[in-house]
Structure 1
Amino acid sequence: MVLGPFASVADLMARLPPDRVLSIEEQAQAERLLGDASHLIRMTAGYQQISRVDNDTVVLRGSRSLVLTLPQRPVLAVTAVAGLTAEQWEWDGGDRLTRLDGCVWRGATTVTYSHGLDEDEPAYQVARAIACDAVKRTLLNPTMIRSHQVDDFAETLADARASLLDGEAETIRQAFAGPKVSVTG
């Protein structure tokens, strides 16, 4: 499944200084960079997709326990577990499925569920803002020059890629990265 960027070029342009207009070439570059920044955000979020996905299908491996944890959050609905009736399992309203029939999750289990955030939700807006900020830094400083000075020592470094600042990465981890996917009993 290909997920799009959290922000559009129009979202980015709204955050640029009013006197900064993007050329056609810069708009194409910005679109690519917004996609890259969105992938970086998803990676920092523990590979959470963040964007809403309805009726996603995932194959999970059971390890002979009663509880199965779904990998993407927030879980909005669980519509089916292949090979089981609705009376044989229960969704806890969070990210866990529990067997109700006395059996354990074993082998491959195919689950159909909806997860993620709508674009108007505050946490999604945080991802949008961080993606725009990462790209804005690249566009406003295309050579990616960074300098550091302590007393009489100074150094200047060129960075070949856009990246998240430490505070942005921490915000993403706090907002989206949860416990590792596991099967518990």
Structure 2
Amino acid sequence: MADLANVADLEARLGRSLTVDEAARAPALLKDASAKVRNHTGQTFTAVAGDVIVLRPVGVLLRLPQRPVTAVTAVAAVAPDGTSTAPMSGWSWDGRDKVDLTYATWSADFSAPAWRDRAAPDTYQVTYDHGDATAPDIVIATVCAMVMRTLLSPSMTPGLAGERVGAYSYQLQPGAGSVGASVVMTQEDKEDLRRYGPRRAGTIGVKPG
């Protein structure tokens, strides 16, 4: 999966080109920062077509986890065996992130072994498209901030407490002697990404068995 920011984004914020040493380290740091942001938010922030997910509804609603949702192309009931599915019709998508099953019907022979002992399915397979062509500005800014704190870390120069490079300044945090080896997400970073964070309640995602 593509990184959420690139070297050009870093250089634009630094106001200069990366040094040879910085350029050598930047790709790995951008990859690590992107992974941490995705792990924290649960969002990919890149366009994905035809993503397939199995969900358990809350009431009659399926809430799609990745945002923004750009299309919902199929919904299928999942049989008790966890593998057989029955395409559904009559469902509706609210244009945002919810699929309503109120009027949905499914095509399945409930006398078949895969559906035996259950009057109706309780998990559903949804195929949908989601994500933007480019990551949101605040996501790019957060990834760059995480990388620059590490890339320009004063811990690389023993005894240095802080320094300013162009418009960007940094300071060695107490107990942060290992800074410079890996990217770190701060509380401020998490606050900046709050709107993309995991929801407290909603549809339950079901991991494939």
What TM-score do you get using the length of structure 2 for normalisation?
0.67
Q: Deviations over 1:82-119 (max 9, x none)?
A: 3334x421111121111113789734422110112221
Alignment correspondent of 2:189: 168
Native 8 Å contact 1:61 1:106 kept in 2: no
CA separation of 1:109/1:17 partners in 2, compared to 1, >3 Å: closer, same or farther? same
Amino acid at match of 1:28: A
Amino acid at match of 1:43: N
Amino acid at match of 1:125: D
Alignment correspondent of 1:151: none
Native 8 Å contact 1:48 1:73 kept in 2: yes
Q: What secondary structure, in the 3-state scheme, does the structure 1 residue paired with 2:51 have?
A: strand
Q: What pairs with 1:1-185 in structure 2 (closer than 5 Å)?
A: 3-18=1-16, 21-23=18-20, 25-45=21-41, 47-62=42-57, 65-82=59-76, 83-85=86-88, 87-99=89-101, 100-101=103-104, 106-119=121-134, 124-141=136-153, 143=155, 157-160=176-179, 161-174=182-195, 176-180=196-200, 182-183=202-203
CA separation of 1:74/1:80 partners in 2, compared to 1, >3 Å: closer, same or farther? same
Q: Between Structure 1 and Structure 2, which shows a larger proportion of strand residues?
A: 1
Counting matched residue pairs gives 168
The CA RMSD measured in Å over matched residues stands at 3.1
Counting aligned pairs with the same residue, the percent is: 35
Q: What secondary structure, in the 3-state scheme, does the structure 1 residue paired with 2:104 have?
A: coil
Amino acid at match of 1:137: R
Q: What secondary structure, in the 3-state scheme, does the structure 2 residue paired with 1:137 have?
A: helix
Q: What secondary structure, in the 3-state scheme, does the structure 2 residue paired with 1:143 have?
A: helix
CA separation of 1:90/1:135 partners in 2, compared to 1, >3 Å: closer, same or farther? same
Amino acid at match of 1:69: R
Q: Which has the larger radius of gyration?
A: 2
- CA offset at residue 28 of structure 1? 3.4
- CA offset at residue 5 of structure 1? 1.0
> 5+ residue gaps in structure 1?
148-154
Q: What secondary structure, in the 3-state scheme, does the structure 1 residue paired with 2:39 have?
A: helix
Q: Deviations over 1:5-64 (max 9, x none)?
A: 11112221222242x6321x532321111111111112222x11122212211122347x
Q: Partners of 1:105 and 1:70 in 2: how far apart?
A: 21
Native 8 Å contact 2:147 2:183 kept in 1: yes
What TM-score do you get using the length of structure 1 for normalisation?
0.75
Amino acid at match of 1:179: R
Native 8 Å contact 2:5 2:30 kept in 1: yes
CA separation of 1:77/1:29 partners in 2, compared to 1, >3 Å: closer, same or farther? same
